[in-house]
Amino acid sequence: MANLAAVVGIGQTKYTTKRGDVSIAGLVREAAANALEDAGLGWDDIEAVIIGKAPDMFEGVIMPEIYLTDALGCNGKPMLRVHTAGSVGGSTALVAASHVQSGTFKRVLTVAFEKQSESNAMWALSTPQPFSVHLNAGAGGYFAPIIREYMRRSEAPYDVGIKVAVKDRLHGARNPLAHLQKPDITLQEVEESFMLWDPLRFLEACPSSDGACAMVIASEDLAEQSPKPPAWIRGVAMRSEPTMYAGREEVSPQAGRDCAADVYQQAGITDPRRDLDCAEVYVPFSWYEPMWLENLGFAAEGEGWKLTMEGATSLDEGGDIPWNPSGGVLCSNPIGASGMIRFAEAARQVRGDAGAHQVEGAKLALGHAYGGGAQFFSMWVVGSEKS
């Protein structure tokens, strides 16, 4: 059996288009130092550092843990670098947790970051390769056809994505760290925004952000001594499947369903909508909320959009299962950190430390991340209680 572990410190940067005031190390450091401060700890209290980010091409620094050693107080310590595409922030948190859950370490620091302003994410994701057609149209170009297929199957009204875009931006307006601050956003504004990758409009897509997120994860005994309430890690799961294979279910990938089933089983969840108080789910394009509502078992197949339209996932509408109270990826997207932000925001909720976007009385929350061609999944469930 895995040892109990808990999140005892969380640190983030303010997410923004360009953090022009810091170096790459400065950005990562800021989140890490905030997490240490939140945990009431110093650099010497940390035994190992686990760092994650998406492709090195975003910053053009190869294996950046090598350069970041000193900024993260890691000289003489173990340092591990995770890269699992867009899910990396989540899987990095899971690898960090395994350092403690395996009984190998008592207290580790984990950090994920992206400083996307150093390059152009669209470039880094579609670098030219000989002998291939240069049709790569960025992540939106990849996911738009899958969304179209979901719309066809579910017969969802055209404006479900628009509703999600507004809902998450209103959530983000409660979160001072969120990149996009749009407290006055309207359905009409989203609908009239530029069509990027039909059926995806500009305001239905995530921004490109600079930012970093960090957590301190500690063993049961140390977590109990922590000055602030710990977020107990109640379940951890990862799943991968290939990008392309004959008959692949792209709208609701098997890897996502299996991953959810695994993490729910560990956390004793039988009905996620009922048992969980909120969820931070990787939704970089608005339509992925209804799609993941189904994939993660919050709604039956073809019914996810109904929860969205009823307001069930909205904090402002008093929904029973708020999704992305922090504003989610639609408000802030430093790619390599986005998954960890989901995991950290889930932990903030059950620590009762989420400020204006706190879900009242949240005791159990889901953190979710996915990456690649919606083929890599990582999830955890955190709770205010050990079991």
Partner 1 sequence: MQQIAIVGYQQSDCVSWAGATNEVELIMPVLRRVFDQVGLANAQDVDFVCSGSCDYLQGAAFAFVAGVDALGAVPPIKESHVEMDAAWALYESMLKIRMGHAKSALIYGFGKSSPGELPIVLSQQLDPYYLAPQWVDTISLAAMQARLMLDQGLITERDMAEVVARSRGNALNNPHAQLSGDIAVDELLAQETYVSPLRKSDCPPVSDGASAVIICTVEQAIEWGVPYAIISGIDHRIESHNLAMRDLTDSVSTRQAAQGAGMADGSVDVAELYAPFSHQEIILTRALGLGENTQVNPSGGVLAGNLMMASGLSRIGELFNRITSGEARRGIAHATSGPCLQHNLVTVVESA
Partner 2 sequence: MSQPEVLTQAFELGFTYTRSTGPVVGRFLTELRDRRIFGIKGSDGRVIVPPMEYDPVTAEELSEFVEVGQQGEIVSFAWVKEPRAAHPFDRPFAWAMIKLDGADVAMIHCVAAQSEGELATGARVQAVWADETRGFITDIRCFELAQEN
Partner 3 sequence: MSEEREMITGIEAPIYLQYKFTAGSAPARFLSQVKKGVLTGQRCPGCQNVYCPPRGSCAACGLPTEEEVVLSDKATVQSFTIVAIPIPNNPIQPPYIIANLVPDGSNISFIHLMSECVNEEVHIGQRVQALWKPEEEWDYAMDNIRYFKPIDEPDVPVDRIGTMPVTGWEG
Give the long-range contacts of residues 149-154, CB within 8 A, separation 24 or more.
Answer: 149/250, 149/251, 150/251, 150/287, 150/290, 150/291, 151/199, 151/287, 153/251, 153/302, 154/290, 154/302, 154/303, 154/304, 154/305
Element (H, E) at 5: strand 5-12
- Answer with the entry of partner 3, partner 1, partner 2, none that 19 interacts with (C-beta below 5 to 8 A by kind): partner 2
Q: Which parts of this chain interact with partner 1 (CB under 8 A)? A: 1-3, 23-24, 55-57, 59-63, 65-70, 74-85, 91, 95, 98-99, 101-104, 124-125, 127, 129, 236-243, 245, 253-255, 258-259, 372, 375-376
CB neighbour list of residue 95: distance below 8 Å, 6 or more residues apart? 50, 52, 80, 82, 110
Applying CB under 8 A, the span of 72-80, 160-168, 303-311, 357-365 interacting with partner 2 comes to: 72-80
Q: Would you say 96 or 331 has its CB closer to partner 1?
A: 96
d(CA 203, CA 185) in angstroms, rounded, equals 10
User: For residues 290 and 286, what is the distance between their CA atoms, to the nearest angstrom?
Assistant: 8
Choose one: 181-189, 237-245, 349-357, 359-367; the region binding partner 3 (CB under 8 A): 237-245
Is residue 56 within 8 A of residue 85, CB to CB? The reply is no
Which of 70-78, 192-200, 251-259, 268-276 is the region at the interface with partner 2 (rule: CB under 8 A)?
70-78
From the list partner 2, partner 1, partner 3, none, pick the one residue 55 interacts with, judged by a Cβ distance below 5 to 8 Å according to partner type: partner 1
123-152 residues near partner 3, rule: CB under 8 A: 123, 126-138, 140-141, 144-146, 148-149, 152
Residue 156 CA to residue 287 CA, distance in Å, equals: 10
The binding site for partner 3 (CB under 8 A) comprises: 20-21, 60, 120, 122-123, 126-138, 140-141, 144-146, 148-149, 152, 194-200, 242-248
Residues that bind partner 2 (CB under 8 A): 18-26, 29, 43, 57, 59-60, 69-73, 75, 117-120, 123-124, 127-131
